[in-house]
Amino acid sequence: MAAMDIDVAPKRTFKEKLLDTLAEAEVEAQVAGEAPPKDKQVLLVEMLVEGFPSAFCDFFYLTHRDGIADDQPTAAELEAKGIDPEHYEPGEEVPEESLGFLKENLVVAEAAQRRSDMRAVFDAYKSLATYFESTDNPKKAIFFFKKCLEVAVKSGDVGAELEANVNLGMALENTGDTPTAIEHHERHVSLATSVSNDVEELAGHQNLVRVYRRMAEEKAAAGDMQASIECLEKCLAVARLGMDVSAEGLANHKLGLSYEKLDNPQKALGHHGEYLRLCKLSGDKAGEGTACCALAGAHQAMGDVDAAVQNLETFLELSKNGDPASQARACCSLGNIYTAQKKFERAVTYFEKFFEVARSLNDRRMLDVARINLGVARGSARTGRFMEVVSSDLNTLLLWKNVRMPIDPIPL
């Protein structure tokens, strides 16, 4: 039997199939009278056809839910913004109108890497990181800032590495990852010091002051006061290196308050005193008043009442045109001190000031406290005269009892 001739179609390559897919999409768009659609699928196919597999992988990873997390807010974050998590509809990973921008920069980065133009690679990734940061997409911003850092380190570009560490540190701060942010800010300062870049070193010190202070607050909120103090000590040391008098003063103040919480008024006193010195040096009157208040508390805890009174009175003098609430607290403290010393007339004077300020603030709770303290002080101030009348002046006692005639103080 003669063999039959069978036409075998040539096997099509993967690239040819991709090109056919693109052609079909363009034909459909022309029939509909529209521009060719540039959705995720089409852009992915284009990158493969154009020969950019790395860009394809990154694009896929960034635009699919099984890639980078969708950056959608947590239930707690939604509730903080007044949004019901059960009715929240998550958006797309990357807005449709931004897909072209994403593809373009990924392709530019891969093409630049092939020709060893690492600065162009860095700039493309930085452009994407900045874009995602501006669209409140922090995880993707961090993804590209990390790529910037990798490129800078690989190429040995110290300037780019400095920039990448700063950007990455700040982006991590915004996500609440303070420990990792600190690592990058420390690396930034270390690099700047190694190349004697005074401008970058100064900026790095400022960043470290901020993140050390933030870490101290986080540790304190978690109840770990010792770790909080260690962070504040680092903050203080960096502030001194950066010659930032304001930051140095604030670090001393917070250290003083921390030692108070640890029942160590002696150490607290030293830091509050240094805070006062630095405030005077910088002309910070409000800070001076805060320092005096803190010093008063430390002196009182150590049993030095006279020093506490002196600092509170200095604070009142400094804060005449300042914060009324602080004035009220200082007057209350002075009233309590004089009450404890049984100097009731002086206590009444300060509790009256406390009452006046509380009334002007329209603070109901503070006003109630002021009213009670003033009443107790006035009653205590009159107790001595009242007891004398009870024991030796029957006529005055009867008049007070029957018609509420005031019991006048004993004439001097």
Q: Round to whole Å and give the CA distance between 253 and 269.
A: 10
Q: Round to whole Å and give the CA distance between 207 and 141.
A: 19
Where do we find the tokens 């922090």?
Answer: 138
Residue in 292, 350, 336, 349 with CA at minimum distance from that of residue 318: 292
Tally of CA atoms within 13 A in the half-sphere of 79 that contains its CB:
4
pLDDT value, residue 65:
56
Residue 379 CB neighbour total at 10 angstroms? 12
pLDDT value, residue 286:
82
Parts of the chain belonging to CATH 1.25.40.10? 223-317, 323-412
Helix (H) or strand (E) holding 222: none
pLDDT value, residue 192:
95
pLDDT value, residue 336:
77
Where do we find the tokens 């002086």?
Answer: 346
Is the distance from CB of 150 to CB of 124 less than 8 angstroms?
A: no
Residue in 236, 323, 256 with CA at minimum distance from that of residue 296: 256
User: Which residue positions in the chain have pLDDT lower than 50?
Assistant: 1-4, 6, 8, 31-33, 36-37, 66-67, 69-70, 81, 87-92, 385-387, 389-390, 393, 397, 400, 403, 405-407, 410-412
Q: Tell me the CA distances in angstroms from 39 to 7, 64, 94, one per residue in order.
A: 38, 13, 11
287 token code pair: 């800070």
Is the distance from CB of 173 to CB of 141 less than 8 angstroms?
A: no
Q: Residue 190: what are its φ and ψ, rounded to 5°? A: -60, -45
Q: What share of the chain is helix, strand, coil (3-state, %, to 5)?
A: 75, 0, 25
Residue in 163, 41, 57 with CA at minimum distance from that of residue 109: 57
Q: Round to whole Å and give the CA distance between 192 and 177.
A: 23
Q: Round to whole Å and give the CA distance between 354 and 134.
A: 48
CA 354 remoteness from chain centre: 33
What's the chain's length in residues? 412
The region that residue 116 occupies, defined by phi over 0 for left and psi between -120 and 50 for alpha, beta otherwise, is left
25 token code pair: 């999409």
First to last CA, the chain: 147
Where do we find the tokens 């010792």?
Answer: 226
- Helices 198-221 and 225-241 cross at an angle (nearest 10°) of 160
Q: Round to whole Å and give the CA distance between 312 and 346.
A: 14
Is the distance from CB of 256 to CB of 294 less than 8 angstroms?
A: yes
Is the distance from CB of 312 to CB of 338 less than 8 angstroms?
A: no
Residue in 350, 353, 345, 351 with CA at minimum distance from that of residue 384: 345
pLDDT value, residue 27:
54
| SS3 assignment, position 83 | coil
pLDDT value, residue 407:
45
Domain 323-412, CATH = 1.25.40.10
Helix (H) or strand (E) holding 272: helix 265-282
Q: Any residues with CB less than 8 A from the CB of 86 and at least 6 apart, and which?
A: none
CA 109 remoteness from chain centre: 34
pLDDT value, residue 180:
96
Q: Which CATH architecture is the domain 223-317 placed in?
A: Alpha Horseshoe (1.25)
Is the distance from CB of 291 to CB of 319 less than 8 angstroms?
A: no
